[in-house]
Amino acid sequence: MKNEKIEKIISYFAKHYINRYWVLLIDTVTSVVSSLLVLAVFDYFTTQEIFTFRWYLAGAGCSALISLMAFLMTRSYVGVVRHTTMREMWRISFASIVKALAVMLVLFFYFKGSEYYVNGGWILLFSVLDMILTLFLLIMVRVLVTNIYNVMSLSGVPDYYVKNTLVYGTDDDSVNTLNFLEKTLHASYRCVGFITHDTHDKSKMLCGYKIYHVDNKRDFARLVTSRMISAIVFPSNVAARNEQDNLVKFCSERRIQILVRPSLTTFDDSIFRNKIREIKIEDLLGRDEIKISILEIREFLTDKVVVVTGGAGSIGGELCRQLVNMPIRKLILVDFAETPMHNMQLELRSQAPRVEKKFVIADVRNKDRIDALFDKYRPNVVFHAAAYKHVPLMESNPVEAVQANVFGTKNVVDASIRYNIEKFVMISTDKAVNPTNVMGASKRIAEIYVQTVGKEISSGRMPGKTKFVTTRFGNVLGSNGSVIPLFKEQIAKGGPVTVTDPRIIRYFMTISEACSLVLEAATMGEGNDIFVFDMGAPVKIDDLARKMISLAGLQLGKDIDIKYVGLRPGEKLYEELLKDEENTLPTVHKKIFRAKVREYDMAAVDHELENLRIAALGMKKDDTVLAMKNIVPEYKSANSRYERLDS
């Protein structure tokens, strides 16, 4: 029972910060002790008995008052003691200097004119010694608290739970990764050294840890065995990607945990959101992380009411996660899927309490519901992410694809014009470029309507002030139904991993990158723009499957197999290149390009949409697809029952 109480006390102090006013009290007591010690030294070496007990008492009171004022002035007590940084050290140093100057002034005016003054030389010496000892003791207190915290947080954690870890590299990022490990994750990971291929660092020490040099798999195996290595931490995705055929592969084969420290640049600049994590396949896709102009986005969204349709989906949900960290006034999430919306409500409810959040169940296909929603909330900006997106499903259900992707978009666009929305941003897809399936064609028709309406407004032929922007990008890693979660599930079950065709390639982007670029494009568009994103080099799905199998520590053909199942309806081997010199123009952002697309006549678009609406209302699949092909002549079906309509 007694041990349980002690463990609870240890656990409490290991998990909670010391109240700042307790820190102020401890610092003040430490400073007073420093002054009394210096006073005792002077008392010991002086021949005159001037330092009586009353002098000690008065000195303690005076030191306490001066120290309190110095600490309050410099706010040296506000930092978290166990996470003391150089900035806090400078504050402590400045506080010690302020205290020393104040003590010197008090002693100077008190003894001036007396027989003990003697030109004030001893007063200067007293003040300097007091400053040095005060600074030393304050630092020692923080070192002591840090060590006590480390002991407490490790108490009750068996050694076999703490993994011996190597940090990759020897540059500043590697040192920062070591500091991150020691400050926040020392209860789980114990650094035993750095690992590098650079022979110049061989047999050297860095931050008190040995630098290990490895040239090949044999060297690595020897090091892992001798130091009982359980994990390797990479300071960045780039570092991990550069080692995917060496260290990452070695670790996978020996079941060594591979970790990466994400970039510390986030929307809310919070280091605590960037916990070290296991490496993901998207970290190895061969492209550097995309950077955006966060200040421009924040300025654009300041005090805005923002609507996100499809707010509970993969793209819409990530947009909402990023938007709540912006200085917006209100965020309205719109989706007709109850359970995903409930999950988003649970996730976002406690985040960014200053941002008012509304979770609205509504279907974009219901024109009256969208009108009522816009009338109630009067939004300034709309991000339209609601859509059906799965190619094979939409190939079997073209009527539903048209009703949601085309006329759902039209409902939101028309409401945006009626309620004077400042900017409408549509989320589109690379599959809208020379579409070969129903889903891509439906998104292209939605693009055409958005583009044509925007042109009519900008030319003054249609009343309204809304500026329309369309964003196109390729496959999003980790989104619902995407290939990586499917492969992970198949690998976890022991396979086989199903790939449609060994030649199939796709362009990939992470969800966070895609949504960041959507926000960036929203600030750039002046109306009637279609922006395409530079997705980097295409990725062979077959290579992706092989990397994921290797990353799971399995051997292809021995532990697990790849099965080729053939292209699905509407699917093509090669997605169209989103960006080249012939079909795009550059913008101020090197990863965003303005598409050059054919313009349409508004009357013709309205006429064709009416034909499409009638076909869809009649629930006639062939008539619906034929109407889509009339609107988008470049729509040629591939591996689909609708190929016969192309003739």
The confidence score (pLDDT) of residue 445 equals: 96
pLDDT greater at residue 371 or residue 232: 371
Give residue 520's identity as a one-letter amino acid code: E
DSSP state of 560: B
3-state secondary structure of 420: coil
pLDDT tens for each residue of 133-169:
888 887 787 777 766 665 555 554 454 457 788 888 8
pLDDT tens for each residue of 345-357:
998 887 778 889 9
**Please, which pLDDT band fits residue 503 given cuts at 50, 70 and 90?**
confident
CATH (residue range 294-475+509-534+576-631): 3.40.50.720
Residues of the chain with CATH 3.40.50.720: 159-279, 294-475+509-534+576-631
Among all residues, which ones are annotated catalytic? 431
Burial state string for 612-635 with b = 16 or more CB within 10 A and e = fewer than 16 = bbebbeeeebebbbbbbbebbeeb
pLDDT tens for each residue of 531-589:
887 766 777 888 888 877 877 777 788 888 899 888 877 777 766 655 454 476 777 77
Burial state string for 95-120 with b = 16 or more CB within 10 A and e = fewer than 16 = bbbbbbebbbebbeeebeeeeeeeee
> Six-digit token pair at 292?
């955006």
Percent of all residues in the chain with a pLDDT value above 70, rounded to a whole number: 79
**Please, which pLDDT band fits residue 605 given cuts at 50, 70 and 90?**
very high
> What's the rounded Cα separation, in Å, for the pair 620 and 399?
7
Percent of all residues in the chain with a pLDDT value above 90, rounded to a whole number: 25
For all residues of the chain together, what is the average pLDDT?
Answer: 79
pLDDT greater at residue 13 or residue 504: 504
The confidence score (pLDDT) of residue 10 equals: 46
- On the question of pLDDT at 123 being above 50, the answer is yes
Using alpha carbons, select from 435, 451, 444 the residue that is nearest to residue 405.
444
Using alpha carbons, select from 403, 407, 528, 551 the residue that is nearest to residue 457.
528
pLDDT greater at residue 271 or residue 627: 627
Region 303-321: mean pLDDT is 92
Q: Alpha helix locations (H) across 269-325?
A: 294-301, 314-323
- On the question of pLDDT at 210 being above 50, the answer is yes
> What's the rounded Cα separation, in Å, for the pair 282 and 286?
9
**Please, which pLDDT band fits residue 271 given cuts at 50, 70 and 90?**
very low
- Residue 506, strand partner residues: 539
Q: Which CATH superfamily is domain 159-279 in?
A: NAD(P)-binding Rossmann-like Domain (3.40.50.720)
pLDDT tens for each residue of 390-440:
888 999 999 999 999 999 999 999 999 999 999 999 999 888 888 999 999
- On the question of pLDDT at 27 being above 70, the answer is yes
**Please, which pLDDT band fits residue 201 given cuts at 50, 70 and 90?**
low
The confidence score (pLDDT) of residue 340 equals: 92
Region 325-343: mean pLDDT is 93
First-last CA distance in the chain: 84
The confidence score (pLDDT) of residue 19 equals: 63
Report strand pairing: 205-206 vs 209-213. antiparallel
